[in-house]
Chain A
Amino acid sequence: MPDLLDKRLVIVTGKGGVGKSTVALAMGLAAAAEGRRTIVCEVSSQEHTSQVFNRAEVGFHEVEMAENLWAISIDPDQAMREYLLLQLRVRAMRDLLFRSRIFTYMAAATPGLRELVTIGKIWEVALPDRKVKKGREYDLVIVDAPATGHGIAFLQTPRTFANVARVGPIKAQAEALETFLVNHRKTGVAIVALPEEMPVNETASLEHTLTEDVGVSVDRVYMNALYPERFSKPETERLESASQNGNGALRAACRAAIRESRRAASQREQLARLTELVSAPVRTLPFVFKPEIGVDEIRELSGEIG
C-alpha cells in the first residue's frame, strides 16, 4: 500500500473547527516541497488557501500559489456547467440546457447533485489525462472536505446515485467515481482531531463509518494543536507552592504554567484514548502559539506532516 502522500487523491476531513484547512494546506506544502505537483481543492468556497497566501480569490481556476502548489475552489454550479460542456458535444444541446430555466431549477433542487458534480470535478482534476483542454497533470490532489456529518454524505453521493440509477450514463459515471474513491491504492483519507473529549469520540466513529460504510481507506489521523509538555510533575508542584506565596505577575506566571501542565496532561490522556480507539496511525501536530496561523506557521507544520 503506497504511503499517504504517494497516493493520487487525499481527502482531509474531521469535526468542525479542528483545523482541516490548515492540515490540508500543510500537507500540500509538504508534498510540493518533495517535488510533487500538488493541488488543494476547496469545496465550500471558503477561499482559505488564497487568504493564507494573501492572494486574490482563486474561484474555479487552478492557480499556482507556491512552487509545485496549486489551489482551486470548486463551485458546484461551475462544475455542472463544465460537466455538460464535456458531455454534450453538440453545441445546440448545451445551449438548450443552459438556457432552460426549468433545467436550472431542477439541477438546484435535485438532492445530492451538487455534491456529485463536485466529486466529479475532483476526479477530473486527479485524472492523468485531463478531460478539460490543456489540463495540468497533478501528482497529488488534496481535498479540504466538508466536516464530519456532511463529509460522510458527500463521500457517499456517488454510490447513492449509482444505486438510484439502475442503468444509464449517470450510473456508469457515478460508478466510476465510486470506484476511484474506494480504490485504496489511489485514494486515501486523513482525519483531523483535537485533543478533547468530543473530537476524539467523533474521530473514532468517523473512522469506523468511513472504513465500514463508505469503504475508503483511512490512512492517517492527525491529533492537531497538541500542547507541549513544558513542566514535569515535581516542577508543577514547585510552581504550585510558589504561586501560593507570591502575588501579582509572579503568581499569574506560576498559575499560567500550572494550567498549561494540566491541559497538556489532559491532552495526553485524549491522545492515548485516540490511539487506542482508531486503527489508522496517529500523528501529532503541535499547538501553534501565534495570534494567527499564516503561511509561515503552516510551512513549519508541513515539516511534521509527512
Chain B
Amino acid sequence: MAGVGDLLEGKRVCICAGSGGVGKTTSSAAIAAGMAARGKKVAVLTIDPAKRLADSLGLPELGNEERRVDPKLFAESGIEMEGGELWAMMLDAKATFDELVRRHAPDAETRERILSNRIYQQLSAALAGSQEYMAMEKLFELHAEDRYDLLVLDTPPSRNALDFLEAPRRLMQFIEGRALQVFMRPTGLGMKVFGRGTSMMFSVLRRLTGVEVLEDLSEFFQAFSGMVGGFRERAKRVNELLANPETCFLVVCAPQGEPITEAVYFHRKLVEAELPFGGVIVNKVHYESELPPYDDGLEGQLADALSDDDLARRAIENFDDYRALAARDQSNIKRLTAEMRARLVIQVPYLDADVHDLPGLMQMNEYLFAAGARERTAIAAEA
C-alpha cells in the first residue's frame, strides 16, 4: 500500500471528506503542503481554518481569494520546494452564493430582486446544503481557471459526511422544485391560474403564516426560477468534476467506533455513486507497535529501573490504559480495512502535540506520504 503522494500523482482535485472533529482541516493542510513540497502548485480551500495554523503560515487574514504561503517558511523548515507553491483560501459561502446569483441571473432586475429579497438575505446561508454546494462551486471555478496543479478541498464540518455529497442534489431539488414552478407563473400567487385545491391551499397557508411572509417567499422563489437553466447546467458540470478520474476523494476519520462506522458508510456511498474514492486517513491512532505486550516480570523490571515501586505501578496502569485504546483502534481499523479491500488506509498516530505549524504538518506527512503501512509502523516506533 502506497502513500498520499502516489495516490495524488496526476490528480487535479483532492476532496477531504468526513464528519466534524476528526482532523480534516489539518489533514487537508498537510496534504497540500506535502504536495507543494513535491513541486506542485497547490491551493487548499478551507471553510474554517485553524487560526494558529493560518497565523503560523503567515496568513492571518484569509478571505475568499487565494493567498500564497511565503516560500521562506518552507526554506526555514529545511524543505526544498522544487518549484512548488502553496496557496490557501477561506471559503465564504454567502459571498460565493452572491457571485453565483450575479452570474446566473438573466437580467439586472432579477439579480437585484434576489439579492435584496429578505428571505434570501436572512436565510440563504441556511438553505439546505448551500454551504456544501458553495464549497464545490468555488472548487469548480478554480478548476476551470486552471491555475493550479492540484486543489485540495477541506469540506465543511457536518455531523454527517454525506451532507456534502447530497448538497448539489438537494440544492437542485430546491431550484427545480415544484414550489419554484408554482411561483414561476407570472401571476405568482394569482389564484386564477391554479386549480381550486391549490388556491385553497394558499388561503389556508396565508392564515397560518400571514400575507407578507407568503409574498416574500413567493418573490424569493420567483426570482430564483429565472436562474434554473444556468444553475442546472452548472450543477451538472460540478457533478462531472466530482466524478472525474482526475479527482480523488479521501475520507478522514478517527479510530473510535462511531467515526469508523461513518467512514465505512461514506466509502460505500462514494462507491455507489461511482465517485473516485482514493483512501481513508485515520487520525490520532494509538499504534500497537508503540505499545507491545509484556509479561509479569515487567512491573519488577520497571521498579528496578526507576527504583520506585509506586511509579512503576502507575507506569504499568498507564501502559495498560493505552494498550486498551490501541487494541480498540486496531480492531476498528481492521474492520475498516476489510471493508476497503485493497484500498488505502493510512494511519496517523496520536502525536504528542497539536499540529499548528509547518513543521507539525510535515511531521504528519511522514505518515501520510510514507511508502507503506510497514514504513509507517517503523516511523511510529522510532518517533
Min C-beta distance of B296 to chain A, whole Å: 11
The number of chain B residues with a CB under 8 A from chain A is 80
Q: Which B residues lie within 8 Å of A250 (CB)? A: 298, 301-302, 305
Instruction: Indicate if the CB atoms of A109 and B213 lie closer than 8 Å.
Output: no
Known: A105-B179, A169-B207. A97 touches B292 (CB 8 A): no
Which of B48, B50, B177, B201 is close to A197, meaning CB atoms less than 8 Å apart? B50
Instruction: Indicate if the CB atoms of B354 and A266 lie closer than 8 Å.
Output: yes
Given the complex of chains A and B, what is the CA–CA distance between A48 and B123 in angstroms?
Answer: 29
Min C-beta distance of B306 to chain A, whole Å: 5
B317-355 interface with A by 8 A CB criterion: 317-319, 321-322, 324-325, 327-328, 352-354
Min C-beta distance of B351 to chain A, whole Å: 9
Does B72 make an interface contact (CB < 8 A)?
Answer: no
Q: Which residue of B lies closest to A164 (CB)?
A: B118
27 residue pairs A–B, Cβ–Cβ below 8 Å: A15-B157, A18-B21, A44-B159, A84-B208, A93-B204, A100-B201, A102-B179, A109-B221, A111-B123, A149-B48, A149-B157, A153-B125, A160-B126, A167-B212, A168-B209, A168-B211, A168-B212, A170-B213, A230-B314, A239-B311, A246-B301, A250-B301, A253-B319, A256-B291, A259-B352, A260-B322, A291-B328
Q: Which B residues lie within 8 Å of A160 (CB)? A: 122-123, 126
The number of chain A residues with a CB under 8 A from chain B is 74
Q: Which B residues lie within 8 Å of A108 (CB)? A: 173-174, 177, 179
Which of B158, B200, B308, B315 is close to A254, meaning CB atoms less than 8 Å apart? B315
Q: Which A residues lie within 8 Å of B160 (CB)? A: 44
Min C-beta distance of A113 to chain B, whole Å: 9
Does A196 make an interface contact (CB < 8 A)?
Answer: yes
Instruction: Indicate if the CB atoms of B122 and A248 lie closer than 8 Å.
Output: no
Does A263 make an interface contact (CB < 8 A)?
Answer: yes
Does B43 make an interface contact (CB < 8 A)?
Answer: no
Instruction: Indicate if the CB atoms of A109 and B180 lie closer than 8 Å.
Output: yes
A93-124 interface with B by 8 A CB criterion: 93, 96-97, 100-103, 105-106, 108-112, 114-115
Instruction: Indicate if the CB atoms of B178 and A105 lie closer than 8 Å.
Output: yes
Top 3 nearest A-B pairs (CB, nearest first) are A17-B21, A168-B210, A16-B20
Q: Which B residues lie within 8 Å of A111 (CB)? A: 119, 123-124, 126-128
Q: Which A residues lie within 8 Å of B302 (CB)? A: 242, 250, 253-254
Min C-beta distance of A108 to chain B, whole Å: 7
Does B293 make an interface contact (CB < 8 A)?
Answer: yes
Min C-beta distance of B124 to chain A, whole Å: 7
Min C-beta distance of B197 to chain A, whole Å: 7
Q: Which B residues lie within 8 Å of A56 (CB)? A: none
Given the complex of chains A and B, what is the CA–CA distance between A153 and B126 in angstroms?
Answer: 7
Given the complex of chains A and B, what is the CA–CA distance between A163 and B48 in angstroms?
Answer: 28
Q: Which A residues lie within 8 Å of B325 (CB)? A: 289, 291
Does B115 make an interface contact (CB < 8 A)?
Answer: no
Q: Which residue of B lies closest to A293 (CB)?
A: B256
Known: A97-B201, A97-B205, A292-B328. A201 touches B51 (CB 8 A): yes
Q: Which B residues lie within 8 Å of A7 (CB)? A: none
Q: Which A residues lie within 8 Å of B209 (CB)? A: 165, 168-170
Instruction: Indicate if the CB atoms of B290 and A201 lie closer than 8 Å.
Output: no
The majority secondary structure among interface residues of chain A is helix
Given the complex of chains A and B, what is the CA–CA distance between A166 and B321 in angstroms?
Answer: 59
Q: Which residue of A lies closest to B204 (CB)?
A: A93
Does B19 make an interface contact (CB < 8 A)?
Answer: yes
Q: Which B residues lie within 8 Å of A255 (CB)? A: 290
Known: A153-B125, A262-B353. A230 touches B210 (CB 8 A): no
Q: Which residue of A lies closest to B93 (CB)?
A: A149
Given the complex of chains A and B, what is the CA–CA distance between A148 and B159 in angstroms?
Answer: 11
Q: Which B residues lie within 8 Å of A16 (CB)? A: 19-21, 157-159
Min C-beta distance of B332 to chain A, whole Å: 9
Instruction: Indicate if the CB atoms of A292 and B257 lie closer than 8 Å.
Output: yes
Which of B119, B198, B254 is close to A102, meaning CB atoms less than 8 Å apart? B198
Does A131 make an interface contact (CB < 8 A)?
Answer: no
Q: Which B residues lie within 8 Å of A182 (CB)? A: none
Min C-beta distance of A110 to chain B, whole Å: 6
Does A198 make an interface contact (CB < 8 A)?
Answer: yes
List residues of chain A with CB under 8 Å of any chain B CB: 15-18, 44, 46, 84, 87-88, 93, 96-97, 100-103, 105-106, 108-112, 114-115, 146-150, 153, 157, 160, 163-171, 194, 196-199, 201, 230-231, 235, 238-239, 242, 245-246, 248-250, 252-257, 259-260, 262-263, 266, 289-292
Q: Which residue of B lies closest to A166 (CB)?
A: B212
Q: Pick the most buried of B156, B209, B210, B213: most chain A CB atoms within 10 A of its CB.
A: B213
Which of B50, B123, B294 is close to A198, meaning CB atoms less than 8 Å apart? B50
Does B184 make an interface contact (CB < 8 A)?
Answer: no
Q: Which A residues lie within 8 Å of B126 (CB)? A: 111-112, 115, 153, 157, 160
Instruction: Indicate if the CB atoms of A289 and B308 lie closer than 8 Å.
Output: no
Instruction: Indicate if the CB atoms of A96 and B21 lie closer than 8 Å.
Output: no
Q: Which B residues lie within 8 Å of A169 (CB)? A: 207-210
Given the complex of chains A and B, what is the CA–CA distance between A197 and B298 in angstroms?
Answer: 36
Q: Which A residues lie within 8 Å of B157 (CB)? A: 15-16, 147-149
Which of B182, B207, B352 is close to A106, meaning CB atoms less than 8 Å apart? B182
Does B79 make an interface contact (CB < 8 A)?
Answer: no
Q: Which A residues lie within 8 Å of B270 (CB)? A: none
Given the complex of chains A and B, what is the CA–CA distance between A158 and B198 in angstroms?
Answer: 28
Q: Which residue of B lies closest to A106 (CB)?
A: B179
Instruction: Indicate if the CB atoms of B210 and A167 lie closer than 8 Å.
Output: yes
Which of B20, B180, B295, B306 is close to A242, meaning CB atoms less than 8 Å apart? B306
Given the complex of chains A and B, what is the CA–CA distance between A108 and B305 in angstroms?
Answer: 67
Min C-beta distance of A43 to chain B, whole Å: 10
Min C-beta distance of A186 to chain B, whole Å: 25
Residue-wise, chain B 114-136 has the 8 Å CB interface mask toward A (1 for contact) of: 00001100111111100100000
Known: A164-B213, A198-B50. A87 touches B123 (CB 8 A): no
Residue-wise, chain B 175-187 has the 8 Å CB interface mask toward A (1 for contact) of: 0011110100000
Q: Which B residues lie within 8 Å of A112 (CB)? A: 122-123, 126
Given the complex of chains A and B, what is the CA–CA distance between A250 and B257 in angstroms?
Answer: 30
